[in-house]
Amino acid sequence: MATRIDKEACREAYNLVRDDNSGINWVSFKYDGSMIVPGGHGADYEEFKSQCADDVRLFGFVRFTTGDAMSKRVKFALITWIGENVSGLQRAKISTDKTTVKEVVQNFAKEFMVSDLRELEEEYILSELKKAGGANYDAQTE
């Protein structure tokens, strides 16, 4: 059966993360049978990471504040998590399912495909977002 997405519920959750006044910094999208639905949301990135178990596959839309000494800016990441114990068939479906998620999650600076918790370290994600962000004035001396 083809995977579907609850567009209305997922778009609402996506917009919470994009809203500067919501206090929500991440949302996860999980599988409920063959339907992708919001799986949770929160302010603390560690809460998001705690959902990434070895037997789970999910998508995360996460807000990070990045920048340099001259300017701070918000960047968004789309994270695809595939746990180590996810079956081969489910792994194979994740790329086509990600296309379905991207119907809702349309604006992000960088995309990550992750299966190891070490790759979810906030410092690593931030450094990758910073590289994707363009000008970097940290190297200049004052």
- Tell me what pLDDT residue 66 has: 81
Contacts of 68 (CB under 8 A, 6+ apart): 130, 135, 136, 137, 138
H-only helix segments in 1-121: 7-18, 45-50, 88-101
- Tell me what pLDDT residue 37 has: 98
The pLDDT tens digits of the residues spanning 57-86 come to: 999 999 998 866 777 889 999 999 999 999
Model pTM score = 0.89
CATH number for domain 4-120, candidates 3.40.47.10, 1.10.287.1080, 3.40.20.10, 3.40.50.1700: 3.40.20.10
**Low-confidence stretches of the chain (pLDDT beneath 50):** 140-142
Buried b (16+ CB within 10 A) or exposed e, 17-55: bbeeeeebbbbbbbbeeeebbbbbbbeebeebbebbeee
- Tell me what pLDDT residue 35 has: 97
